[in-house]
Amino acid sequence: MAASSDAAAAAGGDDDLRGKVAVVTGSSRGIGKGIAVTLGQRGCTVYVTGRSVGGNTTDKEIGGSLEETAAEIEAAGGKGIPVACDHAKDEQVKALFEKVESEQGRLDILVNNAFALGPGDQLQAKFWTQGADAWDSLITVGLRSHYVASCFAAPLMIKSVKDRGGKPGLIACVSSFGGLTYSW
């Protein structure tokens, strides 16, 4: 996988990520889960975050939970650590990175993937019928939350440069499929 090879190269070398620490936001299902499990396959310790804890998900049809993702990471050879975090709440994001620092003392990879839709059928309804709440929900957990997580992660990643032999870490931001397809 090119993405995992790119992550490995940025984090200090080949595809072996043993000893590396990653945070993947929004990783209870979908692309975030796939990225987290792939990092685990490479031997990474992966903090998986989101609101879906213990099968308690906001979308019963999609399913998925942080514990399920962490278990798949463990089965793949990595270490998965589930952390409940509402990425719309900056204090919870700050607490996440404080936890990573206290438990690991380092951070090598941050994958910003968290995303949330507001109430209703935002992707199908005409945008002009939805009002500003639709915009706010799309931007708050998505674009804004990616920036906030990066702000809390950067000092820890900078502190960890020496542990990586002077090599920088990696912050990756997963974008919306909306850039490739017509929405609304």
Question: Of 13-17, 36-40, 138-142, where does the model show the most confidence?
Answer: 36-40
**Side chain identity, residue 180:** L
Query: Are the CB atoms for 79 and 66 separated by under 8 Å?
Result: no
pLDDT given for residue 138 in this prediction: 79
Structure tokens at 134: 């639709």
Question: Where do the domains of the chain lie?
Answer: 2-29+40-173
Statement: 2-29+40-173 belongs to CATH 3.40.50.720: yes
43 falls in which pLDDT band (50, 70, 90)? very high
pLDDT given for residue 23 in this prediction: 98
Residue 24, beta-bridge partner list:
48, 111
Query: Are the CB atoms for 38 and 77 separated by under 8 Å?
Result: no
